[in-house]
Structure 1
Amino acid sequence: MITAALFLGFVLLFVLGTPVGVALGLAGCFGIWLADLGLLSVPTSAYTGIAKYPLLAVPMFVLVGAIFDRSGVALRLVDFATAVVGRRPGALAAVTILVSMFLGGISGSGPACAAAVGGAMIGSLTRAGYPRPFSASVIGAAAATDILIPPSIALIIYSVLVPQATVPALFAAGVVPGVLAGVALLIPTVWMSKRNGWGVAEQDAPRPPFWRSLREALWGLMAPVLILGGMRAGWFTPTEAAVMAVVYGLFVGFVIYRTLSFRDLYEMLVEAAEISGVILIVVALASIFAWAGATLGVFDRAAEAIVAVGGGNEYGVLAMLIVMMIVIGMFLDGVSTFLILLPLLTPIAQKFGWDPVWFGIILTLKIAIGQFTPPMAVNLMVSCRIAGVPMESTVRWVMPLIVAMLAVLLLVIAFPGIALWLPHALGD
């Protein structure tokens, strides 16, 4: 009865439109009250949930994304990628994916990347002859690679909830699958562009000079090197790397490009504080739900039920999880999905002996696919709003992109070494 009350309470509140964090917190409190576990445990559980050192990196990476968005790094990266790829049918759409992947190495947030790249690219894509629904589809799908390519806020949250998987190991494991996902998206994107004759107008536009565009984009290109290289060299921890990235971004914006003002700085700090506050409040409230479920043994019983439905076969269970995570990823961002489901999924991974780092990358890939799968895809929602098109108009164009990303997911499931060889090589 208490188990049913815990889950049904959350589902009912969520369906009624209650914010995810509030629904989790209230359902957890209700379960604690029914089980007579003592409501004084609620504040302790909430505080314990956010009193984690790795979470200090979250507001910093959110701020980094805002800094590099406003400082004009995205536009300079577009010029450089265009200089590399050239001017031919489908080239500008390919540039969109490449820039999204690179920004993933700075911000770590899919919706944030969709907003930044959408603002920079929708106009250019439209002038080059690409239909707006297609452009929105490509941007929404490309932005999904951001929760795989480090630094990823979702992977930081995963490391907090699954201590066996460290942040450096997860960051290293996400590199190859993230790049593979981007390459996989390039194939149908370029094919559809050439088949429909989109981007022919690009050939008439002058190609940006390579060396000049490289020189202007170099400061932005160095950001992932600083973040990831500094961690690998042992100069700083992932949390300290986030702080260094903020300092570096402010230096580039104020001193090198001179595109930022103190008013911009104030607005970016406010924006980062609001977004980070929402994330951490959700983490705190989800911790109440997780503590109640773990104490009552709810998650273990639910995990056993899922395994039983899957016939006790790990591939059957994986197939169930793929469908479940993709569907949930349509409605929620990666952070919220991890907070809700990881207490349930971790016992399943332990039962089958799955590597926690590999399992984290698999879950993140599933969420990434859900983020641009209609009807409630969070990334696609952002890109459609910027493009000014209804989401239903993107279905025919986004389906090949979903198939391409699913192929990468199946590849990583079949060959775990794709995700694990780099962290093993680095000793993580």
Structure 2
Amino acid sequence: MFLLIGVPIAFVFGISALISVWAADLPLVVIAHRFYSGLNDFTLMAIPFFLLAGMLMDQGGLSRRIIDFASALVGWATGSLLMVSVVASTAIAAMSGSGSADTAVVSAVMQPELKRRKYDVDFSAALIATAGTLAQIIPPSMMLVLIGVLNNISISALFLAGIIPGLLVVPGLLFLAWWHARNGGPQYRVTEPFQLQRLWTTFFYALPALGLGVIVSGGIFSGAFTPTEAAAVAVVYTILIGKFVYRELDLKVIPGIILKAGGFTAGIMVLVGGATVFNWLMAIEGLPDLVASWLQATVSSPWTFLLIVNIFLMLFGMPMESIAMVLLLSPVVIQAGVAYGLEPVHLAIVFVFNSVIGMITPPFGGTLFVAAIVAKRPISAVTRHIYRPWGVMTIVLLLVTYIPELVLFLPRAAGFLK
């Protein structure tokens, strides 16, 4: 009810907790205790560090080097700027952990050139918004950290599980870029000749930036770092590369970036703490068990259950912010899925993928708004072009849902799952 009348989700958690505690005749101090307990998790420290590293990448010139390399790699193809946007978004996704940050960085660099070459800015914004969401699937992903902490699932297993689903989206988006350009005007055929020397040069300059993804992912998967330690290493690495290799990072801006990252983190943590209280209250009332029992009595097949979950989450993803959706609904969905014998890692990736689709679904698509704002276009104009990228994401979601090995192969190969 509170969500329907527009109450912010953080207040919804708090008000619901107060009403439930009062109705159960429990002391109010329980809310404070559970709120603190939900935040007292070392893994959650990865979120501010990954946010900070993503912001520092832009200031330190790492993102621009990656985009230059992507331009040399695919700038010769029809619709080259669209393809560069997709490739660059994918590469930055492997380092930023934030869909909105990925979208903002690529949009800020690419949109001026897209406008200069007279590309369809609205379609370009929709494509960049979709590619930007890959940062929430491809590790390191803040959303995977959240759903892992909330549901007691291995973060390393989730990070590995997100790689194949995220990469499956890329060919579909590249095909869309080519198809749009093929049916567009002559401006889409203005390309850069492929030059091996330029490719090598841009790769050489981008190598320190690309090394961030290797260090973070390699450190986590090898067991050298925990996700939180890897995030802290990412911050230090980004500062060193931005300051001493690319020499674009002014140390004077770092305090301001830290404050900005801290502001984002504070908002997320309020949601996490409130969700912890809310989920604990649902658990003591037995709501997840009731939902699981009702589903098992109503739906016999796990595949039908997954179809219902996808439809349900897609509908919720339209009005609800993706992080709030993970915090509010993932414990119930994952516990119900486990009752069908489904693997929690698989369920978590399916859930996050639905949340990611919600980031490009009107009326409250997060990356859709970011791309439209940076492009200086009305959100309604960009939304008219989102249905094809949305279709690509939905096809991949169905593949990930009904071919679990696409999700589970890498975690099993690495020994995180049996």
Name the TM-score, length of structure 1 as normaliser: 0.92
More off after superposition, 222-231 vs 71-80: 71-80
Sequence identity of aligned pairs in percent? Answer: 31
Which residue matches 2:262?
A: 273
Q: Give the SS at the match of 1:106.
A: helix
Question: Is 1:168 equivalent to 2:168 in the alignment?
Answer: no
Question: In the superposition, relative to structure 1, how do residues 417 and 268 fare at CA in structure 2: closer, same or farther (>3 Å)?
Answer: same
Amino acid at match of 2:51: V
Question: In the superposition, relative to structure 1, how do residues 73 and 23 fare at CA in structure 2: closer, same or farther (>3 Å)?
Answer: same
Q: 1:200 aligns with which of 188, 198, 207?
A: 188
Q: 2:248 aligns with which of 233, 243, 259?
A: 259
Correspondence list, 1:15-94, <5 A:
15-94=4-83
Which residue matches 1:298?
A: 287
How much does 1:167 deviate?
A: 0.7
Per-residue displacement from partner, 1:287-319 (whole Å, max 9, x unpaired)?
11111111112232234445555x333222222
How much does 1:331 deviate?
A: 3.5
Which residue matches 1:177?
A: 165
How much does 1:224 deviate?
A: 0.6
* CA distance in structure 2 between the aligned counterparts of 1:255 and 1:333, rounded to whole angstroms: 38
Per-residue displacement from partner, 1:137-163 (whole Å, max 9, x unpaired)?
011110111111000001111111121
Question: In the superposition, relative to structure 1, how do residues 292 and 198 fare at CA in structure 2: closer, same or farther (>3 Å)?
Answer: farther
Q: 2:369 aligns with which of 360, 375, 381?
A: 381
Correspondence list, 1:20-419, <5 A:
20-163=9-152, 165-197=153-185, 199-200=187-188, 202-203=190-191, 209-307=198-296, 311-419=299-407
Amino acid at match of 1:110: G
* CA distance in structure 1 between the aligned counterparts of 2:222 and 2:306, rounded to whole angstroms: 36
Q: Residues 108 and 147 of structure 1 are in contact (CA less than 8 Å); yes or no, is this contact kept in structure 2? A: yes
Amino acid at match of 2:326: F
* CA distance in structure 2 between the aligned counterparts of 1:340 and 1:226, rounded to whole angstroms: 33
* Structure 1: runs of 5+ lacking an equivalent: 1-10
* Structure 2: runs of 5+ lacking an equivalent: none
CA RMSD across the alignment: 1.8
* CA distance in structure 1 between the aligned counterparts of 2:276 and 2:119, rounded to whole angstroms: 45
* CA distance in structure 1 between the aligned counterparts of 2:87 and 2:216, rounded to whole angstroms: 19
More off after superposition, 326-335 vs 85-94: 326-335
Q: Residues 151 and 171 of structure 1 are in contact (CA less than 8 Å); yes or no, is this contact kept in structure 2? A: yes
Q: Give the SS at the match of 1:427.
A: coil
* CA distance in structure 1 between the aligned counterparts of 2:320 and 2:234, rounded to whole angstroms: 27
Q: Residues 62 and 272 of structure 1 are in contact (CA less than 8 Å); yes or no, is this contact kept in structure 2? A: yes
Name the TM-score, length of structure 2 as normaliser: 0.95
* CA distance in structure 1 between the aligned counterparts of 2:396 and 2:384, rounded to whole angstroms: 20
Per-residue displacement from partner, 1:1-27 (whole Å, max 9, x unpaired)?
xxxxxxxxxx32x23332211211211
**Paired residue total:** 415
Per-residue displacement from partner, 1:331-367 (whole Å, max 9, x unpaired)?
3443221110023212211211110111111111111
How much does 1:204 deviate?
A: 6.3
More off after superposition, 92-101 vs 203-212: 203-212
How much does 1:253 deviate?
A: 0.9
How much does 1:64 deviate?
A: 0.7
Amino acid at match of 2:208: W
* CA distance in structure 2 between the aligned counterparts of 1:323 and 1:148, rounded to whole angstroms: 19
* CA distance in structure 2 between the aligned counterparts of 1:199 and 1:322, rounded to whole angstroms: 39
Per-residue displacement from partner, 1:63-86 (whole Å, max 9, x unpaired)?
011010211222211111111113
Question: In the superposition, relative to structure 1, how do residues 270 and 237 fare at CA in structure 2: closer, same or farther (>3 Å)?
Answer: same
